[in-house]
Structure 1
Amino acid sequence: MAHRLLVCRIWTLSAKEIRCLPASSTAIASTSFSTSLQPSSSQVSFLSPSHGLPRSFTHTTRRQVSFNVQDNEDFTERVINSQLPVLIDFHAQWCGPCKILGPRLEKAVAKQKGRVAMAKVDIDDHTDLAIEYGVSAVPTVIAMRGGDVVDHFVGIKDDDELDSFVSKVIGK
C-alpha cells in the first residue's frame, strides 16, 4: 500500500518538484523502481538525471467530424442554414447496420478535411424529422446543400462507395 501511495505521489509530481526532492526520497524511489534483472550496482532509477523524466502526452485537438442533432431548431440552424454541404445520417440505437455505417461515414467525411459536415439524427428521438424527410428504413443518408436535398441512399455502402458519394456531394 505504501508503495502505491509513493508511486502515485511521484507520478503526479511536476518536474520541478522532483528535482527538489530530498536525497532520501530519490533513494527510496530508486530502489522501488529499479529493475530486478540488472545487478544492484547498475540499477537505474527512472528519476535519475541521465534518463530524464517521463514526458507528458501532447494534447491534440481532434476536429469534430459529426454532431448529434438535438432538436428541430438545432437541425434548422446547423443543417438547413449550413454554408457547407451536410450529410444527415438517420439511424437508430437498435439498428445493427447503422452501427457499421456510422463510423465508415465519419471516416469518409473526415477525409474531406472540413469541406462537408455530418449530422446524426436518431429516428427514435426525432421521429418528426424522419417523417419529414421520408425516412422509411435505417440507415438512410441524405445529402443537403443550401437547405435542399441533393442526394440520398439507404443501407450500407463500402468505403469506396462512401468516398465517391461524399466527393459527388461536394462537387455538385
Structure 2
Amino acid sequence: MAAITEVNASNFDSLLQEQLPVLVDFWAPWCGPCRMVSPIVDQIADELAGRLVVAKCNVDENQDIAMRYGVMSIPTLVILKGGAEANRIVGAMPKPKLLEEIEKAL
C-alpha cells in the first residue's frame, strides 16, 4: 500500500517541494461523500505510486490550509504541480471519472 501523508500546518509546505504531482484530499470525518471517496483515493495512491504523491487534509483540524486553497465544500481534491494548483475536483465521483480527471494533470 502506498504511503498517504496526513497533512497539517507543520508538514504541508514540504509537500509543495515534491518533484511529483501531489493530490491533496480535503475531507472531514462527518462527511458522507468524503467517506465514499476515501477508499477510492487509497486505491489511486497504490495504482499511481511513483507518479503521484497522495495526501489527506482533515479540514476540521486544518482550516487554515483549506482556506488557503479556497476549499468551500468537501470532498475537494486538489492536484498540485510544482507547488501550484494544476486541477481541482469537487464532490464524489466514480473511480474511472476521478482517474480521468487526475490523469489530465499528470
Please tell me the TM-score bracket, short chain as reference.
Answer: over 0.9
Task: Please give the TM-score of this superposition, normalised by the length of structure 1.
Answer: 0.59
Equivalent residue number for residue 101 of structure 2: 165
The structure with the largest helix share of the pair is 1
Greater share of strand:
2
Report the TM-score when normalising by structure 2.
Answer: 0.93
2:51 aligns to what?
115
Please list every run of 5 or more consecutive structure 1 residues that lacks an aligned counterpart in the other structure. Answer: 1-61
Deviation at 1:114, TM superposition (A): 1.7
Read off the aligned partner of 2:52 and give its amino acid letter. Answer: V
Counterparts of 1:83 and 1:131, CA distance in 2: 24
Bigger RCO (CA 8 Å, 6+ sep) = 2
Give every structure 1 segment of 4 or more consecutive aligned residues whose post-TM-superposition deviation is greater than 6 Å.
none
Q: Which protein has the larger Cα radius of gyration, Structure 1 or Structure 2?
A: 1
Deviations 1:49-94, CA, capped at 9 Å, x for gaps? xxxxxxxxxxxxx442x1101x3230001x2111110000000010
Task: Write out per-residue CA displacement over residues 134-162 of structure 1, whole angstroms, 9 at most, x where no aligned residue.
Answer: 00111000000110001101101111111
Superposed CA RMSD: 1.2
1:155 aligns with 2:106: no
